[in-house]
Amino acid sequence: MKRLHFLILFLLAVLPHAHSQTGEEVYKKLQAIAVIDQKVMMPMRDGIRLATDIYRPKGDQKVPVIFSRTPYNFNSWGNGEQRFNSYSAAYEAVRRGFAYVVQNERGRYFSEGQWDILGTPVTDGSDAFSWLEAQAWCNGKIGLTGCSSTAEWQMAVAAQDHPALATAIAQGFGAGVGRIGNYYEQGNWYRGGATQMLFISWLYDTQHDIFRPSIPKNASQEDLVRLQRFYDLDPEYPRVDWSKAFQHLPVRDIIRNVNGPKSIFESMVARKPNDPAWYQGGLYHDHMPYEKPTFWFVSWYDVSTSPNLAMVNRIKSQAKKAGVADQQYLVIAPTLHCAYKRASENTLVGERSVGDARLDYDSMTYDWFEYWLKGENNGVLTRIPKVQYYTMGSNKWQSSETWPPGSSSMTTWYLHSQGKANSVFGDGRLSGQKPGPSLPADGFVYDPAFPVPSYGGNVCCMGNALAGGSFDQRQMETRNDILVYTTDPLQQGLEISGFIEATLFVSSDAKDTDITIKLLDVYPDGKAYNLDETIQRLRYREGYDKEVFMEKDKVYQVEMTPMSTSNYFAPGHRIRIEISSSNFPRFDRNLNTGGNNYDESKGVVANNRIHHNAVYPSQVRLPVVKSQ
């Protein structure tokens, strides 16, 4: 069965449809109201042509364009839900007076050229805008829409400031974010200098082999429309047991080891966090301008929540055109990647219930587009809060003018123990009291051959190896290579909404190792639900433009990349952090050698220590919201 996961998620997240209808029924309704022009080969400036399907209202009126560019297969002659959603999205847009245009990135399916992540060169976006703007049926205004890879290209293209691009709605856009301040994720490839392994399984299912079959360049539109009915050029990838495949070393050979496609992974895996190649493609970086009104959608359990939020804040603070800073709107939902519309009366994220997290995404989407693309004075900018965020625990939508909310302030909690914080059975405590001068450090053994298994978390796209979301971590916490620090039961409820910072003082007998941290909400019955997590590869503790290895047993101050959440800890609940040196396969294992890691097969054991005393006050800083 062809893998349609991401296309389906995008269409479910962005545009509404009626599940009671079949694809054939929706297509007949679409034919009645739309001019349908499929497999238009839109020319780019270098002569490459991109396959484009156009659906627009019948008649001679000029209409705005809702534009979606994607690496995924949108062939409307496919089977089942793919076919249904393609027509349904177009029908909903056309009936509301928009043209709906969907295009494949270069090198994907019927589009010509060679593919690279985010459909580089970025000039393809501007070329498409110019072509659409020049059509007799277009009113000259274009809005972008999409989730995941259908959204991630939008920021770098918007930075070119094409006059026809009026607005964007970007959902689950993290893999389009490169360097933002101290975040060097480079499109979710890294976190704290460690590789996020989701890209390995994603590329296996996404990249087309360099020897893929393709349609000859001289094929006419008529030929392509005919061929799409029985050739969609969608590879049939053999299923992979990723729970086993990720264990293979070296990392660079994982796709080869499962007989996967040969394409761009082999070159990407060798890049370092500040490699010049990251700045030559389609990623958005913080030195680039951004001057377009945009509606941003983020999720608490998506891959890169903190960098996403940091990017929106950066855009608001750096915008130069009048009004643009105030035209950035944000929704933060308690869901997995692109799963906004899956929220229900009893929304489960992993195994934790977060209540009724529904929101009227359809209304917000089209109100936004009608305002910016049609000029309708519908009051959307005053009716929708600047920031809508969902607070788990209290299970309610809240609003704010900023993120974090202006009512939050950072509160410091210190690590304490008598040197025995190993596992949930240890003596680790989290307290607002500063530590004394003589508290012993907590030590643990990190063996990359036996890493701490990932269990839930802020992730996507990893097949059967890892399901994202919030899960009870108590079984994980029985391991001695996890340090556990927990507050006393809270006497009063406490809301934490914003960025979570951590400063840890670390030593090791290895040249290089990783430090992981996780924030949890501990229920009175002992269930410990994960909220967010991060990691730091210690060779990059002084920045990502250099590698500085550790001296044996020397203590180093380590600033962890900030986490993010909005969670209400009810009375009787406790706040907990876990610290270790692995979270696998969420992140790749540090083999502790100081080598390249991606091309190594053997690691060494590291004896790591977390220091917490008056000289080395290891701590977390939590954004506590003042009670109203």
Helices 5-14 and 361-374 cross at an angle (nearest 10°) of 70
Mean pLDDT of the 270-278 span: 96
Judged against a pLDDT cut of 90, whether residue 17 lies above it is answered with no
Q: How many residues does the chain have?
A: 628
The residue ranking higher by pLDDT, 263 or 611, is: 611
Residues 126-183: pLDDT tens digits?
999 999 999 999 999 999 999 999 999 999 999 999 999 999 999 999 999 999 999 9
Q: What is the dihedral of CA 10, 16, 18, 24, to 10 degrees?
A: -60
Mean pLDDT of the 416-424 span: 98
Residues 559-580: pLDDT tens digits?
999 999 999 999 999 999 999 9
Residues 450-495: pLDDT tens digits?
999 999 999 999 999 999 999 999 999 999 999 999 999 999 999 9
Say what the pLDDT of residue 18 is.
43
DSSP string, 162-183: -TTEEEEEEES-GGGB-EETTE
Residues 302-349: pLDDT tens digits?
999 999 999 999 999 999 999 999 999 999 999 999 999 999 999 999
In what order do the strands lie in the sheet containing 294-301? 34-43, 49-57, 99-104, 63-70, 138-147, 165-171, 294-301, 328-336, 387-391, 396-400
d(CA 390, CA 335): 10
Structure tokens at 332: 């933060």
Q: What percent of the chain has pLDDT over 70?
A: 95
pLDDT band at 627; cut points 50, 70, 90: confident
pLDDT band at 4; cut points 50, 70, 90: very low
Structure tokens at 319: 């915008």
Ranges assigned E (strand) in 58-137: 63-70, 99-104
The residue ranking higher by pLDDT, 101 or 6, is: 101
Judged against a pLDDT cut of 70, whether residue 526 lies above it is answered with yes
Say what the pLDDT of residue 481 is.
98
Q: What percent of the chain has pLDDT over 90?
A: 89
Judged against a pLDDT cut of 60, whether residue 7 lies above it is answered with no
The conformational region for residue 115 under phi > 0 = left, psi -120 to 50 = alpha, else beta, is beta
Judged against a pLDDT cut of 50, whether residue 244 lies above it is answered with yes
Q: What is the dihedral of CA 178, 183, 189, 190, to 10 degrees?
A: 160
Average pLDDT over all residues of the chain = 94
Say what the pLDDT of residue 84 is.
53
Let me know: does 576 contact 517? Beta carbons within 8 Å.
no
Judged against a pLDDT cut of 90, whether residue 13 lies above it is answered with no
Residues 6+ apart with CB under 8 A from 158: 144, 165, 168, 290, 291, 292, 294
Ranges assigned E (strand) in 417-544: 429-431, 442-446, 483-486, 494-508, 514-522, 528-537
Rg, the chain, Cα only: 25
Say what the pLDDT of residue 86 is.
77
Mean pLDDT of the 379-383 span: 96
pLDDT band at 411; cut points 50, 70, 90: very high
Mean pLDDT of the 222-250 span: 94
The count of other CB atoms within 10 Å of the CB of residue 571 is: 11
Judged against a pLDDT cut of 70, whether residue 14 lies above it is answered with no
Say what the pLDDT of residue 525 is.
98
DSSP string, 8-24: HHHHHHHS---TTS-HH
Domains of the chain are 5-187+283-326 (3.40.50.1820), 408-625 (2.60.120.260)
Say what the pLDDT of residue 366 is.
97
The count of other CB atoms within 10 Å of the CB of residue 31 is: 13
The closest alpha carbon to 482, from 434, 403, 428, belongs to 428
The closest alpha carbon to 297, from 468, 118, 148, belongs to 148
Judged against a pLDDT cut of 70, whether residue 82 lies above it is answered with no
Judged against a pLDDT cut of 50, whether residue 56 lies above it is answered with yes
d(CA 617, CA 613): 5
Mean pLDDT of the 115-135 span: 95
Say what the pLDDT of residue 78 is.
58
The count of other CB atoms within 10 Å of the CB of residue 501 is: 17
The count of other CB atoms within 10 Å of the CB of residue 615 is: 11
Say what the pLDDT of residue 229 is.
87
Bridge-based pairing state of the strands 138-147 and 165-171: parallel
Mean pLDDT of the 257-276 span: 95
Say what the pLDDT of residue 199 is.
94
Structure tokens at 358: 């529904």
Residues 6+ apart with CB under 8 A from 185: 174, 177, 178, 179, 191, 196, 304, 307
Judged against a pLDDT cut of 90, whether residue 189 lies above it is answered with yes
